C-alpha cells in the first residue's frame, strides 16, 4: 500500500521543541508504518497549510489551495503505478480541511486519510493519562511524544506553561488579544514525560491498525 506522511518542518512549538517537531513525528510514523505493514512510504510532505503560526518567526505556511495542489500532484504521480488507494497520514490540524478537499477531488486518485491527532485511541489515552487542563499545541501530549521519539530535541527546562483555552484561528504574540500565546503554544508541557509519550505512541499505532484494517476490508 502506498503511504505519504505530512508534518511541518517549520512551525512554532515553543522554546522547548524544535520547529520541525511535526516533521520528526511524520518520519517516526513513516518508519513505524514501513516496519509494521506491507506499505511503501514516501518521504514526508513538510511544508503545508499552517496559517495559525505565521506571527512567530520561522513558521512557514502555504496557501490552502497551494497545499491542496501539491498533495494532488504527489498522489497523482504515485497513482500512475498502482491501483491501490493511497493513505495520507497527517500530523496537523489545519491541514485536515484541505486534505479532505483533495480526497473529494473529482479528478483525483483514491485517497484515504488518517488524522493522527484525531485518532480515537490517542484521544482516549491523552484524556486518561494527561494532567493539563487544556490540550492544544506544543503541550503535554506533543512534548511527551517528542520525549519518546527524539529526546535529544526537547529542552524541557525551557517549557512555558500556558494552560488556558484558545479560540480557533490565528495565534497572536500581542498581549490582550483573544488568542495571545507568547510562544505559540497552549497547554502544560512541563507535565510531559517519556513514559506518557510511549503510551501515546502505542495509542497512535492502534489507531493506524484500525485505518489499515478498514483499507484491507475495502480492498
Q: Where are the domains of the chain?
A: 2-218
Contact, 150 vs 27, CB < 8 A?
A: no
Note the pLDDT of residue 118: 96
The three cell numbers locating residue 133: 487542563
> What average pLDDT does this structure show over 90-115?
96
Q: Which architecture, in CATH terms, is 2-218?
A: 3-Layer(aba) Sandwich (3.40)
Q: How many CA atoms lie within 13 A of 119 on its CB side?
A: 25
- Inform me whether the pLDDT recorded for 95 exceeds 90: yes
Q: How many CA atoms lie within 13 A of 80 on its CB side?
A: 6
Confidence of residue 178 (pLDDT cuts 50, 70, 90): confident
The three cell numbers locating residue 19: 520547529
Q: How many CA atoms lie within 13 A of 28 on its CB side?
A: 21
> What average pLDDT does this structure show over 51-65?
96
Q: Produce one character per residue of 141-159: b if its CB has 16 or more CB atoms within 10 Å, e if not.
A: bbbbbbbbbbeeebeeeeb
**Gap between the Cα atoms of 165 and 184, Å rounded:** 13
> What average pLDDT does this structure show over 2-7?
97
Q: What is the pLDDT of residues 195-218, one digit of tens each?
A: 999 999 999 999 999 999 988 765
Q: How many CA atoms lie within 13 A of 36 on its CB side?
A: 18
Q: What is the pLDDT of residues 122-171, one digit of tens each?
A: 999 999 999 998 888 999 999 999 999 999 999 999 999 998 888 778 99
pTM here?
0.94
- Inform me whether the pLDDT recorded for 30 exceeds 80: yes
| 2-6 β-sheet, strand order | 40-41, 2-6, 86-90, 111-115
- Inform me whether the pLDDT recorded for 41 exceeds 70: yes
Amino acid at each position: 500500500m502506498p503511504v505519504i506522511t505530512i508534518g511541518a518542518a517549520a512551525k512554532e512549538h515553543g522554546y522547548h521543541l524544535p520547529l520541525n517537531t511535526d516533521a520528526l513525528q511524520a518520519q517516526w510514523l513513516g518508519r513505524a508504518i514501513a516496519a509494521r505493514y506491507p506499505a511503501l512510504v514516501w518521504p514526508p510532505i513538510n511544508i503545508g497549510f499552517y496559517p495559525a503560526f505565521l506571527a512567530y518567526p520561522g513558521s512557514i505556511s502555504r496557501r490552502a489551495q497551494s497545499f491542496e495542489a501539491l498533495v494532488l500532484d504527489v498522489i497523482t504521480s504515485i497513482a500512475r503505478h498502482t491501483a491501490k488507494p493511497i493513505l495520507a497520514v497527517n500530523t496537523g490540524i489545519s491541514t485536515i480541511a484541505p486534505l479532505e478537499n483533495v480526497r473529494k477531488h473529482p479528478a483525483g486518485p483514491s485517497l484515504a486519510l488518517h488524522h493522527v491527532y484525531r485518532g480515537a485511541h490517542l484521544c482516549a489515552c491523552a484524556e486518561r493519562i494527561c494532567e493539563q487542563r487544556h490540550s492544544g499545541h506544543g503541550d503535554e501530549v506533543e512534548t511527551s511524544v517528542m520525549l519518546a521519539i527524539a529526546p535529544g530535541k526537547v529542552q524541557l527546562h525551557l517549557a512555558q506553561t500556558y494552560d488556558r483555552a484558545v479560540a480557533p484561528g490565528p495565534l497572536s504574540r500581542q498581549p490582550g488579544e483573544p488568542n495571545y500565546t507568547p510562544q505559540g503554544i497552549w497547554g502544560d508541557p512541563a507535565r510531559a514525560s517519556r513514559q506518557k509519550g510511549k503510551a501515546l505512541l502505542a495509542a497512535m499505532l492502534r489507531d493506524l491498525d484500525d485505518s489499515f484494517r478498514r483499507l484491507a476490508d475495502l480492498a
